[in-house]
Amino acid sequence: MIRHAFALIACLVAAPSFGEEIISTYGYSTFGDLKYPAGFEHLDYVNPDAPKGGEISIFALGTFDSMNPYARQGRAGALSTIGYESLLQGTADEVSAEYCLLCTSLEYPESEDWVIFHINPEARFSDGTPVTAQDVVFSHFLLLDQGLPSYAEAVRALIPEAEALDDLTVKFTFAPDVPRKNLINQAGGIPVWPEHWFTQTGARLDEARLDIPPGSGPYMVETVDVNQRITYVRNPDYWGADLPINRGRNNFDRIRIEYFADTDAAFEAFKAGEYTFRQENSSLAWATRYDFPALDNGWVVKAELPNGNLPYAAGIVFNLRRPQLQDIRVRQALALMFNFSWTNESLQYGLFQQRESFWQGSDLQAQGVPEGQELADLEAVADDLDPAVLTEEVTHPHVSDPRAPVDRGNLARAIALLEEAGYAADEQGRMWKDGQRLTVEMMTDQPTFDRIFIPYVDSLNRLLGEGGATYNRVDPAQYTDRARNFDWDMIYDGYSTGLEEGLGLGQRFGSDGLGDVFNPAGYASPAVDRLIERVVDATTREDMEAGVRAIDRIMRRALFVVPTWYNPTYWVAYYDMYRHPDTLPPYALGQLDFWWYDADAAARLRSAGALR
């Protein structure tokens, strides 16, 4: 057994029994690049002297009937994971680096066949009981036995073994025949729950419930008023308050969430001071509704703050399981009828940019013609590719005339593509092939999408003939059921991507993920499958990035998602009693994390009658 080590710096120690060196360290990054040295005092983007106190309040829409976010049953309340910690924690200014939180150190062989974490002996749950290795093991297997099936199935195949070597030492052993990338992050990211609470209560992780286990994190549930509000309170005895990774963070005494039935009610409540921080996602509201007295009086700050995260790879997703959508020429024709320029200028106040890449604006975005390692990766799978991929410019979204919903040139190109695919128009302009009419349904559950997608469906009917395209807004329950069962033609959805990619690529874009909700289009390509293996096996960041760029190039050409819009900034409005560091980190807004409360400014607002 490896000796119990509490090294605060990364070092190499001999392990004769295994015949390989063991790395002992205070943090982990896939490619070994940690920004913060051992013994760092605080994260660069926080105010280490930020005062503690006050309350921040935000809003949520709809309803909730559970505080357990780990079950498919019920609808969990907002921020219901806030009280739970894991062995490792990431930062908001690094891509994949993680540092010890519940642990003091970790060690693993160069092969990364296993990892051992040494738990901080000071770590405590909010009920005062210590966090133990047995709790970590229990939590791991609880997720495998009762967690979401998609998670459990994937992780069981990767991390089949976990054992407590003693009360403060836990070891994860990885499956022998799986890639090692991201496995240490996976093990270190497991939320840790107290085994004794589940034993005493008989609770299950897969059931909706309002009473939840105590966590080891900085916040605890204070009050729950179902469908009205949730309040979290900072634990005055939080064990990790003085850790370097926590200094300048968790500054509010309370975090309150107010629930509203619709966006209009939520906005009116903000204007009246019923809650105090609002992150806006409606271009209509941002452009037209921020003209109320609290803003005019200087009580509310309206700001656009930089957002360095990858934009969600969202757009109009085609369900490739539908026979009529398997022909790329059909998808190209339907895509040509979406006029981003007109939509953005006429309906979204020119506030958005058009997305091109699945990894927009990052080093993983394909550009120009392939070259270097990216070209070499593509050549390695050339037998499964259109040869043009190797020589042509990367695919960009089409350009449309902003003066009208239908670009006549694009309409003509779309008709030609359908004719090339074997479709012919009848006297009413309806498109037929082999006795089957080409029809599509655009499904959504969001009323705010009506003004965006009804014009698009109208444009599709110019191409397909009246009734060829339908717009169907269904209730959320029906939408969820149909989406999970892939019973749709087109929806507004997307793919989560990251600045460092690995095993998750297969679940989202590989053949193994064809039945997974994380791959809504049902996209698969033999070339991409092989490139995913190269990305997973990459030993340098440069090789990983080149492989992802090659995948991006292939998938953009396949056009299973019509890229729509993204916003490179955060739109925020808040009552002028909150402060943040002058320079925000690239990967987090951090309003609930490292912002803080100005008590004097809050007193002035209350005196002026700005707050309820």
Task: Provide the whole-model pTM.
Answer: 0.88
Task: Give the span between the Cα atoms of 463 and 474, in whole angstroms.
Answer: 25
**Partners of 442 in beta bridges:** 471, 490
Q: 397: Cβ–Cβ under 8 A, 6 or more apart, which residues?
A: 340, 354, 355, 356, 562, 563
Task: Give the span between the Cα atoms of 67 and 126, in whole angstroms.
Answer: 17
Question: Using CB atoms within 10 A of its CB, is residue 476 exposed (0-12), middle (13-18) or buried (19+)?
Answer: exposed
- 285: which 2 tokens? 């509201």
- 516: which 2 tokens? 């997974």
Which run of H or of E encompasses 597?
strand 596-597
Read off the amino acid at residue 508: R
- 581: which 2 tokens? 């560091």
Question: Between 450-464 and 408-420, two packed helices, what is the crossing angle to 10 degrees?
Answer: 50
Is 590 in contact with 92 (CB distance < 8 Å)? Answer: yes
What domains are defined for the chain? 11-40+84-201 (3.40.190.10), 219-308+570-607 (3.40.190.10), 313-566 (3.10.105.10)
Q: How many CA atoms lie within 13 A of 270 on its CB side?
A: 33
The strand pair at 229-234 and 561-563 is best described as unpaired
Summarised one tens digit per residue, pLDDT across range 304-336 is: 999 999 999 999 999 999 999 999 999 999 999
User: How many whole angstroms from its chain centre is CA 183?
Assistant: 19
Return the pLDDT at 249.
98
Task: Give the span between the Cα atoms of 586 and 193, in whole angstroms.
Answer: 31
Alpha-helix residue ranges (DSSP H) falling in 370-524: 372-380, 408-420, 450-464, 476-484, 504-509
pLDDT band at 373 (very low <50, low <70, confident <90, very high): very high
Summarised one tens digit per residue, pLDDT across range 58-94 is: 999 888 999 999 887 888 999 999 999 999 999 999 9
Phi, psi of 358 (to 5 degrees): -70, -20
DSSP 433: E
Which run of H or of E encompasses 269?
helix 263-271
Task: Give the span between the Cα atoms of 397 and 335, in whole angstroms.
Answer: 9
Task: Give the span between the Cα atoms of 457 and 345, in whole angstroms.
Answer: 18
303 has pLDDT over 80: yes
pLDDT band at 3 (very low <50, low <70, confident <90, very high): very low
Is 397 in contact with 341 (CB distance < 8 Å)? Answer: no
Give strand ranges (E) for 127-215. Answer: 161-166, 169-173
Task: Give the span between the Cα atoms of 270 and 276, in whole angstroms.
Answer: 7
Summarised one tens digit per residue, pLDDT across range 513-544 is: 777 778 999 999 999 999 999 999 998 999 99
HEC profile of 40-84 = CCCCCCCCCCCCCCCEEEEEEECCCCECCCCCCCCCECCCCCCCC
The strand pair at 300-306 and 229-234 is best described as unpaired
Return the pLDDT at 152.
86
pLDDT band at 105 (very low <50, low <70, confident <90, very high): very high
Give the chain's radius of gyration (CA, Å): 26
Which run of H or of E encompasses 256?
strand 254-260
469 has pLDDT over 80: yes
